[in-house]
Amino acid sequence: MKALIIGGGGFVGKYLAEHLMQDRGWETVVTKLPKETVSVDGCEIYNLDILDQDAVEALLIRLRPDVIFHLAAQSSVAYSWKNPQLTVDINIHGSLNVLEAIRAIEDYQPKVLLIGSGEEYGVLPKGLSLVSETTPVQPGNPYAITKAAQNLFGTLYAKSYDMDITMVRAFNHIGPGQAPQFVVSDFCKQAAEIAAGMREPVMRVGNLSAVRDFTDVRDVMRAYSLLALHGKAGETYNVGSGRAISIQEILERIIRLSGAAITVEVDPAKLRPVEVPVIQADIAKLQADTGWMPEIPLEQTIRETLDYWRSTAEN
């Protein structure tokens, strides 16, 4: 089995490549942007801009992968408010370029996973917090709108052109090495630097009342590979832990594990214009079709993420 990870230069790409090669034994190729650095032993790596459809098609003709994991995205909600145009270009136009490139190749029918987000569900009706794939989406930020559009295009192409495309709505996935623009990594980085005496003992935070579904990135990668094998064409699958926890509790766990005396202050710059109070993934469909279950406890993920930032602070 040959797998291609498009947009593997980020946090998720390295974990997915390592999982596919080490746990699945698949030949794996990763694309990245020229400015990005990716190092995975035994993995071929190519530079690719998904806004260049001809380049995408040329690479697919050369490689003809059996499975394509489309990860390339502008994935920051906060940044999507600042630059919605770029978010649209990458997340919608780029995804369409990949789908059109596949269509343009004769006698080629790869399995495609389009990676979306739990953010697509957006602002939920009062009293609803557990969302299944049939819950109507009401995206509440530019990033979520682009991912909802990607999902609709994927569904359309699967049905209209008989393409083997499976859509994913991935909820918050976390772990060592994640950029600090995401909440758990941000808190862990701040806590590690405070404990190392690199900054004042004040943790700057956004909205702590939000309740979210967090999963270890390594568990999420297992779900992706299982969906590549067993996910149904034209279908969407939630990928999450099936449990929700408040950002406040996450913060308290990080501070406790850090062992430092930390004061907490709200930073207005970290607040979003629109915030969904509570959201939790219903993962029954994923479990029924793949048998997947999360295995890594949240406490372990937080501890290992904190240790990652501690090692960075020490260096």
pLDDT at 276: 63
Task: Please check the confidence at residue 190 and state whether its pLDDT lies above 90.
Answer: yes
Taking the C-alpha atoms of residue 180 and residue 14, their distance in angstroms, rounded to an integer, is 17
Query: Who contacts 99 (Cβ-Cβ below 8 Å, separation ≥6)?
Result: 112, 153, 154, 157, 163, 165
Task: Please check the confidence at residue 120 and state whether its pLDDT lies above 60.
Answer: yes
Task: Please check the confidence at residue 6 and state whether its pLDDT lies above 60.
Answer: yes
Cβ burial, residue 268 (10 Å; 0-12/13-18/19+): exposed
For the stretch 264-304, pLDDT in tens is 998 888 876 656 678 899 999 999 999 999 999 999 999 99
What is the pTM assigned to this prediction? 0.94
pLDDT at 8: 95
Question: What pairs with residue 278 in β-bridges?
Answer: 211
Work out the angle at residue 233's Cα, subtended by the Cα atoms of residues 47 and 89, and round it to the nearest 5 degrees.
40
Arithmetic mean of pLDDT, 111-126: 93
Domains of the chain in sequence order:
2-173+215-239 (3.40.50.720), 178-212+243-314 (3.90.25.10)
Arithmetic mean of pLDDT, 115-144: 93
Task: Please check the confidence at residue 204 and state whether its pLDDT lies above 80.
Answer: yes
> How many other C-beta atoms lie within 10 A of the C-beta of residue 300?
12
For the stretch 228-242, pLDDT in tens is 999 999 999 999 999
Task: Please check the confidence at residue 244 and state whether its pLDDT lies above 80.
Answer: yes
Taking the C-alpha atoms of residue 253 and residue 175, their distance in angstroms, rounded to an integer, is 15
pLDDT at 181: 87
| Average pLDDT of the chain, as a whole number | 94
pLDDT at 274: 55
Task: Please check the confidence at residue 98 and state whether its pLDDT lies above 70.
Answer: yes
pLDDT at 77: 86
Of the ranges 217-221, 260-264, 274-278, which one carries the lowest mean pLDDT score?
A: 274-278
